[in-house]
Amino acid sequence: DAKTTQPPSMDCAEGRAANLPCNHSTISGNEYVYWYRQIHSQGPQYIIHGLKNNETNEMASLIITEDRKSSTLILPHATLRDTAVYYCIVRFPQGGSEKLVFGKGTKLTVNP
Amino acid sequence: NAGVTQTPKFQVLKTGQSMTLQCAQDMNHNSMYWYRQDPGMGLRLIYYSASEGTTDKGEVPNGYNVSRLNKREFSLRLESAAPSQTSVYFCASRGRTSGAETQYFGPGTRLLVL
């Protein structure tokens, strides 16, 4: 699996957009980019995933560069409840034998 | 739907004691997983079950056993607990719920081994 690099921490003001970067320069053509987050003491929560097109859902947007070597997760209007550790994972979907590899992620703090 | 549930929420064991962590999902998912998370670290996969009747080792299986009791339930057993197994344990299931096929996690079991 391709490795990912994320900044260890970021801050964002409440109501502003939070842009979380992820570098995955060794990604292969059939690997997807997944984002999860973990709010303190809770289980990880799926946010979004994509292959090469930009994706948007009710939680966030995912922007993947044309060369696919990096991506950005965007929370358009961050709230205090978005304070969490955000994990970027690159993975080829393998159905039931899929094994997600979690790094240390980015700790996002949303400030009032 | 309750999603993925885990019991107990907290447990304290003495070295050498045994216990079983329970996990159940009501989303009709085929695949289930057990992870552990140590302080300041990401999750590491212990065991997984791609489908009912099958189990496979993950990254850190030593000291653990699992049982896929049926499609809903996947248990993790510590036969002889060691302080190094102090951790937070998360169960997950994989399937398509609310649009995306991905893994959905339970709330975790916090285990302290003295």
pLDDT in tens, A42-67: 999 999 999 988 999 999 999 999 99
CA-to-CA distance for B56 and A9, rounded, in angstroms? 34
- Contact residues on chain A for B104, CB-CB shorter than 8 A: 46
CA-to-CA distance for A90 and A100, rounded, in angstroms? 8
**What strands lie across the sheet with A55-56, from one edge to the other?**
A18-23, A70-75, A61-64, A55-56
pLDDT > 90: percent of chain B:
80
Do the Cβ atoms of A96 and B108 come within 8 Å?
no
Do the Cβ atoms of B45 and A99 come within 8 Å?
yes
Do the Cβ atoms of B107 and A99 come within 8 Å?
no
CA-to-CA distance for B45 and A99, rounded, in angstroms? 7
Closest CA in chain B for residue A104? B42
Do the Cβ atoms of A49 and B56 come within 8 Å?
no
The pLDDT value recorded for residue A95 is: 66
In degrees rounded to 5, what are phi and psi of residue B78?
-105, 110
pLDDT > 70: percent of chain A:
94
Interface of B with A (CB under 8 A): 4, 30-31, 35, 40-45, 48-51, 56, 58-59, 88, 90, 92, 94, 99-108
Total Cβ atoms within 10 A of residue A84: 21
* Residues in chain B, total: 114
Cα angle B43, B62, B70 (rounded to 5 degrees) comes to: 75
Cα-trace Rg, chain B? 13
Closest CA in chain B for residue A97? B50
| pLDDT over 80 (residue B42) | yes
Band of pLDDT at residue B35, cut at 50, 70 and 90: very high
Band of pLDDT at residue B95, cut at 50, 70 and 90: confident
